[in-house]
Structure 1
């Protein structure tokens, strides 16, 4: 708060030239003694600020003082504006006002060069609201409750201390400390439902790298696989796999060698390729897929007879 007040004092003085200590004290809801201490701190930091007491006096900056020339290089100014713009498009509180003030201090025009939408393409207001809700819970350090569907299709009620929103491999995740599991966990946001922010707040715990820890857990329960995908599936190959995993074959198809997590998720994922998938190794995975397809065929034929 003190740093923010120091910054705004400079902004106000650049904008209004002379401001009394009383006016600044009322503006920031502090004492005039605090304002004079702020003046001393700014002066000690090299800002040419001074105070004239008496009638017609006040606090002002040295005539001709330019904030951007005295404190930051041109590149540093641009970096600050870029960072504020990135926060602004995520609807971070009060960022638009700060961005305008900083741009004025630096005497620069801001360019609307970026837009960020945390929700998936085609999503409704419900999904967009979820990201705002999670962001606020992280900022305010509030415990959240939600129903979660894991990769096995099992539903559980979770209570979590939220830490970060993470975008990884075409999907959004929430990292946090799960009070049920008594450990740090990552949750895929699309599998979260009935999210509720409680009134209970929490203190940040000592953390490890949650993403690396999750990747290690996935690695410990994964199997190496080789799959071949038809040339028409190039869009999925390059969307979902790293270049070093991909080999393009002479017939235009693609061979992918990668580790995949075990479980029912794997079957659903491979079947999602439909007729684009041409080969699967190990053999037992391929046989399991064939069995799943036979079950699907049986169910569809049974329902077709019922419709007739």
Structure 2
């Protein structure tokens, strides 16, 4: 990529008094003419690079040139480095190389003060690899194919033009144009498997409406609920519900008024609280939970 080549040219010139266009062309496997175009771009960007013709000549920077003082402020340097460190969640070797080069250019030795990793604790490298696959497919405008399980557990094979990755409410989502459904859809990444980048390319479509407001693969009915959670469940109350939904009772328990999606997931979620939860409303959900608990008791009774 040209931007990476430009950064590396400046990096070389900062660490080497002079080089030649031929040497740079050989290093980057491009033509000498391309190198001279790069030099023109750097010059127009305010970087004092110049070429000396003839024997003993070459390409160099003005003496005592320091990139960080001439182009970017201290805060801007830190913002750029932080952004690159944030991209570390994709474990892309290219990101590490650019971070290393810019750290050297900015004379910043300490770049490990923060680590951004949005994957769940205990997740393996396979999920990170899937993130990189999706990112590359979006940037290269390549159609992807994958297996998808919706919230009801229905399995389907999808062929999609990927457009955007979104991190929302502790989960990654892919937004794109589903060729099978012939419309824009949103897919939860944890329900995607066997992701494959095809050799078919696509051009961006014109969105008739904001994609974030379009149909979601997991769109469904939401249920207004009122829950009572015991004091020992406080850690989950404040992790999983909004503050405005929570009321602390005199006995130390919590009443939560919220909306949750109507699906099989809902019952698994409520049961995950064990004896710390009581469903106060609606009555039909309370009765369904009661029925499931009775079924669990029957299955776990000892055989006589």
Alpha-carbon offset, residue 210 of structure 1 = 4.1
Task: Report the alpha carbon displacement of residue 117 of structure 1 after superposing the two structures with TM.
Answer: 4.2
Task: Describe the shift of the 1:274–1:81 C-alpha distance in structure 2 as closer, same or farther (beyond 3 A).
Answer: same
1:1-308 equivalent positions in 2, closer than 5 A: 1-207=1-207, 209-213=210-214, 218=219, 221-301=221-301, 304-305=302-303, 308=304
Offset of residue 74 of structure 1: 1.0
Shift in alpha-carbon separation, 1:79–1:259, aligned structure 2, 3 A: same
After superposition, give the CA deviation of every residue in 1:241-282 in whole Å (9 maximum; x if it has no partner).
111111111111111111122233322322222211123211
Q: 1:65 to 1:15 in 2, by over 3 A?
A: same
Q: What's the TM-score, normalizing by structure 1?
A: 0.85
Question: Retained in 1: the 8 A contact 2:21–2:36?
Answer: yes
Alignment coverage as a number of residue pairs: 303
Question: Hey, what's the Cα distance between the residues in 2 that align with 1:177 and 1:109?
Answer: 43
Classify 1:193/1:299 alpha carbon distance in 2 versus 1 (closer, same or farther; 3 Å): farther
RMSD over equivalenced CA pairs, Å: 2.8
- Of the structure 1 ranges 163-172 and 57-66, higher mean CA displacement relative to structure 2 is found in 163-172
CA positional deviation for 1:179: 2.4
* SS across alignment from 1:81: helix
Give the Cα–Cα distance (whole angstroms) in 2 for the partners of residues 124 and 75 of structure 1: 34
Aligned equivalents of 1:249, 1:215: Cα separation in 2: 37
The answer on whether the counterparts of 2:145 and 2:196 sit within 8 Å (CA) in structure 1 is yes
Contact 1:81 1:110 in 2 (8 A): no
Distance of aligned partners of 1:253 and 1:210 in 2 relative to their CA distance in 1, 3 Å threshold? farther
Is this contact kept in 1: 2:143–2:162, CA < 8 A?
yes
Q: Please give the alpha-carbon distance, in whole angstroms, between the structure 1 residues aligned to 2:128 and 2:217.
A: 30
Query: CA offsets per residue over residues 121-161 of structure 1, 9 Å max, x none?
Result: 23345445444444444444433333332222322232333
After superposition, the Cα gap between the structure-2 partners of 1:300 and 1:158, relative to the gap in structure 1 and judged at 3 Å, is farther
Using the alignment, how far apart are the partners of 1:195 and 1:217 within structure 2?
19
Structure 1 contact 165–174 (Cα < 8 Å) conserved = yes
**Equivalent-residue separation in structure 1 for 2:143 and 2:235 (angstroms):** 39
Q: Distance in 1 between matches of 2:261 and 2:6?
A: 52
Unaligned runs of 5+ residues in structure 1 are: none
Flag the 1:246–1:187 CA change in 2: closer, same or farther, 3 A. same
Please report the TM-score for the alignment, with normalisation by the length of structure 2.
0.86
Q: Deviations over 1:204-238 (max 9, x none)?
A: 334455445468984x7212211111111112212
**Alignment deviations for residues 172-208 of structure 1 (CA, whole Å, 9 cap, x no partner):** 3333332232222232333333433333333333445
**Aligned mates of 2:138, 2:74 — CA distance in 1:** 33
